[in-house]
Structure 1
C-alpha cells in the first residue's frame, strides 16, 4: 500500500491469476475484495495503517473462498481494480486505486457494486451430517475463524486459534466416553455466520450448544473464566459489552445484514423457549460448579446478555469465555495443553451431570 490521505494504491502479488470480485460497505467505510481460496503470505508490517487505509484484515471465509477487507476513515471511490500479468517475472498482480470522495459518491458506488454482485456478502454454507443414533447430541462452537480472528493476546495469540484447539480437544474427550454424539460448527480455520452456527446446532438436533471464546479488554490485570446465558437485558455492563463485541462478527467479516425472520409468537413456541432457557441456566450453574474446582473464575462468573449465537429457541445454549487473552497469565494458560486438559475434564463432568438429569426426565 502506498499513498497519502487523498489517494492510495494497493498492489497484491499472486503466483497465478486470481478471480477477483469486490464491493463496498459502510459504517465503517470498507472495500471488500473476494478471491478463490488463497494462502496469504503477507508480512504484518505491510498491513499497518497508511494513507486512506486505517485497517486491513484478511482470511478464509469458507472452502474455496478468501477475503480481504480494507477499512477507511471516511468515504472513498475505487477508480479501478485490475489484474495484470507480470511483465518481467512469473505471476500476476492485482492493483486497486482508491481516492477520497464525497458520501454521495460512495453511496452510489456501493449500491452499484452490490447490485452487480448480490451474493458477495454471504459465505458458502458448510454441510453437516446428522448422526443416525439417539445418543445425547452436543454442538461445540469454536468462536470466530477465518477472516474474523477475534481477540488477540498480549503475545499475539489469536482467539480463533485457541477456541478451535480447545473445541477439538473437548470433542475428542466427549467422544471417548462413547456416550455422546458431537458436532463442531467448524473444524478448521474458516469463517461462519452467527446464524449458521445456530443452524448447525438445530439441524443436528443438538441437546446442548457450547460456544467457546476467549475475550480481551483494556484492563490487563483482569482475568478468569465466565459463563454466559441468553437474556434480552444484560446482567451487567461488562456482559453487554462482551455481547456487543461478539455480535459484531458478521459485520467485521464484511457480510451484509439479512432481514431477521419473524417467528410465530404462539403459546407453544413461548413455552419451548422458556423451557430451553431454564435448561440453559441449569447447565450454566452445573458448569460453573465444575469449572470452579480447576479454573480461576471472574467475580460473578454467571452472566447473561443478548448473544446472537445463543438464540436457538429449542437448544439449551451457553457461551464460555475461557479467560482473557489480554491478561498474560490467562493467555499462557490457554496455550498450555495441561491447563486445557483440566478445563476439558471440568466441562465433561458438567455435561455428564446435565445429560444424566435430562435422560432421567
Structure 2
C-alpha cells in the first residue's frame, strides 16, 4: 500500500463516515446562562443561523449540543448557573463542535428556538431548561437519543494495514483527551489535551528518526476520540505497539514523577485505581452515550490471547521505565497496573504513560517545555528500540 493509501486509511479510521472535511463556516462567538424563575436559559451567539442536534444523557445527567460545521471564537468564559453546574466544549468530529452541559438536577427542555440578528445582537440559539422528575428526565433521554455514529470496527471498507511490508514495526501513539474533554489543568494554564498532543508529536518524530518504525497518531489536532475507538485504530493499523500519553494532577502539589501503566483488572494500589477511574471518565466528559458502547471487551481479560498481550505490555513497561528515569523524574514504583479502558486491546501490547504532574511546579515546568517534551520522546524511543530488539532476539 502506498503512503497516500495509508493516510487515507487513517483518515477513514479517525472519522468513520465523516471522512470528508467540511468547511467550518459558523463561528460560536459566545455563550451565556440566565435564570427566570424555575427556568434556566442557555444562549449561544453564532455568526450564522444554526440547527444543532440536541440530546440528553443519563448517569451522569448531561445535555449535549452538537453544532455542525462550526468553530469556537468566544474570548470570554461564561459562568454556568441554575440547573447547569458546569459546561465544556470542543471539536468532537471533523464537522461537529460539541458543547456539554452538566445538569445539577433532573430537567427537560421546555423549548428551544433561534433568534435572528437584531438591535446589536448576533444570531442566537436559545434552550430553556425546566426542572423535572427523574422519570420525565429519563423519558427525555430516551426520546432524544441520537443516531449512533459507526465505530471503527463497523467500517467495512477499511482493511487492516499489511504488517512488515517494508520491515518496519507499526506504532500508534495516542494523545490523551481532546475536544470537549480537556483533561487536567496545570499550573501554567495548559490543558492536558494540549500537552499530550505536543508530547505525542515529539514521540512520533523521535521514533521516525530511527528509520525503524511507521508511526501514527490517533489524533493530530484538538478532537475527541472515544476510548474504544482509540485502541480499535491501533488494531486496524496492524500496530505492534500502542502508547497512550497522559499528564496527571493531584491535590498534593509536592507529588511528582512519571509512571508507566499496563492493564490489569486489579489495580496495584489505591493511586492506580484513582487514576484509572479518572481517566475512564473521559467518554462521559466528552458527551459519549455509554449505553451504546461495545461491551465486547468486558470479558477480554480471561482470554488467553489477551493474557499474552498483557505479558508483552508489562515486558515493554519494565524496559521503558529505566529509560524514562534517565531522562525525567519518575515515581519510585515506575510500573503500575490498573483497569484502563484505553489499554484493553486484545492483541496489541499497550501502555499508558503518565508523564508527570501538572500540579507540581517542577513537573509542570518540564512538561510545558520543548526540552522536557523531547526528553520524554527520547526515553520512549530508547525503550521501544530495546523492546523490539528483544522481540527479534526471541524470534518474534
Q: TM-score, normalised by structure 2?
A: 0.84
Q: Decide whether the 8 Å contact of 1:137 with 1:182 is kept in 2.
A: yes
In 1, Cα distance between the equivalents of 2:128 and 2:340?
38
In 1, Cα distance between the equivalents of 2:66 and 2:362?
37
Q: Which residue of 1 aligns with 2:94?
A: 63
Alignment equivalent of 2:147, drawn from 115, 118, 129: 118
Q: Which residue of 2 aligns with 1:31?
A: 63
Alignment equivalent of 2:272, drawn from 230, 234, 239: 239
In 2, Cα distance between the equivalents of 1:104 and 1:200?
38
1:174 CA drift (Å)? 0.9
1:146-157 equivalence runs, <5 A: 146-157=179-190
Q: Decide whether the 8 Å contact of 2:160 with 2:238 is kept in 1.
A: no
1:302 CA drift (Å)? 0.9
Q: In the superposition, relative to structure 1, how do residues 134 and 264 fare at CA in structure 2: closer, same or farther (>3 Å)?
A: farther
1:123 CA drift (Å)? 7.9
Q: In the superposition, relative to structure 1, how do residues 217 and 23 fare at CA in structure 2: closer, same or farther (>3 Å)?
A: same
Q: Which residue of 2 aligns with 1:17?
A: 49
Q: In the superposition, relative to structure 1, how do residues 10 and 271 fare at CA in structure 2: closer, same or farther (>3 Å)?
A: closer
Structure 1 residue matching 2:70: 3-state secondary structure: coil
Alignment equivalent of 1:92, drawn from 117, 123, 145: 123
Aligned residues: CA RMSD? 2.4
Aligned length: 355
Are residue 329 (structure 1) and residue 362 (structure 2) matched? yes
In 2, Cα distance between the equivalents of 1:19 and 1:36?
8
Are residue 45 (structure 1) and residue 77 (structure 2) matched? yes
Are residue 352 (structure 1) and residue 388 (structure 2) matched? no
In 2, Cα distance between the equivalents of 1:262 and 1:79?
38
Structure 1 residue matching 2:113: 3-state secondary structure: strand
In 2, Cα distance between the equivalents of 1:220 and 1:5?
42
1:19 CA drift (Å)? 2.4
In 2, Cα distance between the equivalents of 1:264 and 1:344?
32
Are residue 102 (structure 1) and residue 133 (structure 2) matched? yes
1:25 CA drift (Å)? 1.1
1:71-82 equivalence runs, <5 A: 71-82=102-113
1:43 CA drift (Å)? 4.1
Structure 2 residue matching 1:39: 3-state secondary structure: strand
Q: Which residue of 2 aligns with 1:192?
A: 225
Q: In the superposition, relative to structure 1, how do residues 235 and 76 fare at CA in structure 2: closer, same or farther (>3 Å)?
A: same
Alignment equivalent of 2:307, drawn from 274, 277, 285: 274
Are residue 260 (structure 1) and residue 288 (structure 2) matched? no
- Which residues of structure 2 form unaligned runs of 5+? 1-32
Q: In the superposition, relative to structure 1, how do residues 202 and 69 fare at CA in structure 2: closer, same or farther (>3 Å)?
A: same
Q: Decide whether the 8 Å contact of 2:199 with 2:376 is kept in 1.
A: no
Q: In the superposition, relative to structure 1, how do residues 262 and 15 fare at CA in structure 2: closer, same or farther (>3 Å)?
A: closer
Q: Decide whether the 8 Å contact of 2:160 with 2:235 is kept in 1.
A: no
Structure 2 residue matching 1:331: 3-state secondary structure: helix
- Which residues of structure 1 form unaligned runs of 5+? none
In 2, Cα distance between the equivalents of 1:301 and 1:170?
19
1:91 CA drift (Å)? 4.6
Q: Which residue of 1 aligns with 2:327?
A: 294
Alignment equivalent of 2:375, drawn from 333, 342, 346: 342
CA-to-aligned-CA distance 1:42-69 (integer Å, 9 cap, x gap): 34531x2322211010110010011101
Q: Decide whether the 8 Å contact of 1:227 with 1:319 is kept in 2.
A: yes
Q: TM-score, normalised by structure 1?
A: 0.92
